[in-house]
A and B are shown apart, each in its own frame.
Chain A
Amino acid sequence: MTTLAVLEQRDGVLRKISHEVVTAAHRLGGGVEAVVCAAGPVQGVDQAARFGADKIVTLTSPAFAKYAPEAYAQALADRAKQGGYRTIVFAASATGKDLAPRVAAKLGVGVAADLTDLATDGDALVVTRPVYAGKALLKVKVKSLPAVVSLRPNVFTPVERPKTATAETVAVNVPAGRVTVREIKAAPAGTLDVAEAQIIISGGRGLKEPANFKVLEELARAFGGRAAVGASRAVVDAGWRAHSDQVGQTGKTVSPSLYIAVGISGAIQHLAGMRTSKVIVAINKDKDAPIFKVADYGVVGDLFEIVPKLTDEIRKLHG
């Protein structure tokens, strides 16, 4: 049975997380139909074919210019009811976390949310999700039809499986809904969100004062636009950094390729947000800090000497 992969766009451009959704959907076999809600044509939507979609459907409505939770949910639920899909896959992004349960409820089911793995076992869908601050993994059999799931971002590495997909645009007639997005206040240009960065450099109390985060920002810049600067709860609570930068239980859950924890001791609540990172580096003056227990590589010492040296080395690599 076909899997419905729900893509995301913003301002008419396909978001990269959509590649992960199609990649994961393809794993389930039986063909992938990729669907996106938009006001008009979506730039890059054809990329879904590169990652294994057999069919790409753009649902259009004037209500879809910005994210319209109720209108999106109605359109997707209608599509899901017509299509007879085994599984509907969302990204557990800011939008996906909001949208997936709305669609699921309209289909009379819940969401198996924030998955780090999914597979078919005979007819059944078996999924894995981290629970208890990442201290345990829960493996669950999803028996609903359709199964509605959402994927933890950055876990399902996109795999190219080029296909010749059919494309279809369907104008849908749904009410705009009661909940409307008035505007998006964008972060300053060039700022990469920690939830989407492939490389994250996070700072904690060891930075001593807010101005010292410039040391981490320079290191991030040395990676040439691929890195974001994150923060521990302690420094966010102290007002040094914005909550949007916080990694951890009451912040963002991230899974970058490389996570560099600088001056962060490694409280459970921080580990909950970053322990699924692929490679973890810790830089801390306290050799007994718990962060070294989860780090793949540790350097003990004064971050104000170590980080600038690291920045130089990375610049040399990229220079």
Chain B
Amino acid sequence: MKIAVCIKRVPDSETRVKIAADGKSLDEAGGGVKFVLNPYDEFAVEEALRRKEKAGTGEVSVICLGPAAAQETIRTALAMGADRGVLLQADKIPIDPFETAKLIAAELKGATWDLILFGRMAIDDYNHQVGPLVAELLGLPCVSAVSHLDIEGTKGVAEREIEGGIEVVDFPLPAVLTADKGLNEPRYPALKGIMAAKKKPLDVKPVQPGAGTLEIVALTPPPDRKEGKIVGEGPGAVGELVRLLREEAKVL
């Protein structure tokens, strides 16, 4: 099986968000931001490795659009067991997801794939769309937010969570899938994998993202929630809580 996994370098969710002086971006240097492999992409990498292991043959390529430092993110995926990496190097990841999709689709066009995997969304920009956009650009079938997957030959069956149930979806390979939590339990890179990853091929290709059609106006902290109050301690406070929910918050 020849599998591509498209990954993203994102700020760790525990990171403190400090807004840069331009009022439009994250202060990465001053804010001491820690970056990680996007958690949903870990499910995608894991699934690719399992599919390759099951087939007994194949190759898992990792593709990442990002700055030079994203080589580290690719190395994480290589340490998990992926075979090779490609960094589409750009100083800034475009704000317009369609520009990101165009660059990734152009890279993927250079080869034929049995599966192209993405995470369901990135935890920094919550776009949940680069996978389906790339599928459209490549003319491939796509199933998003996959939490269970069976593949027999060139036929796949995927499950995806919807409100109040689970959709069971049939699709043919090759296909683009985006991974949700529940698909698998991603492995941790072992020391042996980390050592091996240093020697695996990693191509760096400079790219020039287009301007796109989204323009950042401002990045701001969310409005402070009005200061909350501790109503009281123990079951004795419940009467007052209910009164406040009825009369002050008006939600009951």
Contacts and interface: CB of A to CB of B under 8 A. Distances in A.
Interface of A: 67, 69-70, 73, 92-95, 97-98, 100-102, 104-106, 108-114, 126, 129-144, 177-187, 191-193, 195-196, 199, 243-244, 246, 249-251, 253, 257-258, 268-269, 272, 275, 278-281, 287, 292-302, 305-306, 309-310, 313-314, 317
Interface stretch (B85-93, B162-170, B189-197): B162-170
Contact of B234 (A69, A114, A258, A305): A305
A306 B182 CA distance: 33
Given A105-B98, A310-B242, A300 B233 contact: yes
Contacts of B160: 94, 98
B237 A301 contact: yes
Contact of A184 (B162, B231, B237, B242): B162
B19 interface: yes
Contact of A181 (B17, B125, B168, B233): B168
B213 A113 contact: no
Looking at A126, A179, A191, A268, the one whose CB has the most chain B CB atoms below 10 A away is A179
Contacts of A243: 147, 161, 181-182
Interface stretch (B46-54, B58-66, B68-76, B219-227): B219-227
B151 interface: no
Contacts of A67: 167
Nearest to B98: A110
Given A104-B98, A182-B169, A244-B161, A287 B230 contact: yes
A142 B251 CA distance: 35
B184 interface: no
B232 interface: yes
Contacts of A281: 241, 245
Looking at A93, A97, A132, A135, the one whose CB has the most chain B CB atoms below 10 A away is A132
A139 B218 contact: yes
B83 interface: no
Nearest to B159: A185
B214 A94 contact: no
A185 B217 contact: no
A69 B136 CA distance: 11
Contacts of A180: 169-171
Contact of A179 (B147, B170, B245): B170
14 contacts: A110-B97, A112-B214, A136-B220, A138-B219, A139-B216, A144-B214, A181-B168, A199-B251, A244-B161, A249-B39, A268-B14, A296-B229, A310-B241, A313-B242
Given A143-B213, A182-B157, A305-B234, A136 B221 contact: yes
B171 A113 contact: no
Given A111-B97, A141-B217, A299 B241 contact: yes
A214 to B, nearest CB: 18
A257 B250 CA distance: 10
A interface SS class: mixed
A137 B252 contact: no
Nearest to B238: A309
Given A110-B101, A281-B245, A299 B141 contact: no
A110 B213 contact: yes
A126 B141 CA distance: 32
B164 A182 contact: no
A253 B15 CA distance: 19
A250 B39 CA distance: 8
A91 to B, nearest CB: 10
B166 A298 contact: no
Contacts of B99: 110
Contact of A299 (B16, B213, B230): B230
B201 interface: no
A195 B163 CA distance: 7
Contacts of B141: 70, 177-179
A98 B233 CA distance: 45
Given A97-B145, A110-B99, A136-B17, 5 more contacts: A93-B162, A97-B144, A104-B98, A196-B163, A299-B233
Contacts of A279: 245, 249, 251
Nearest to B26: A132
Looking at A180, A278, A298, the one whose CB has the most chain B CB atoms below 10 A away is A298
Contact of A105 (B101, B181, B182, B215): B101
Interface string B118-144: 000001111111001101110001111
Given A69-B142, A132-B17, A142-B213, A187 B165 contact: yes
Contact of A126 (B125, B133, B217, B251): B217
A301 B237 CA distance: 10
Contacts of B124: 131-132
Contacts of A97: 128-129, 144-145
B162 A94 contact: yes
B239 interface: yes
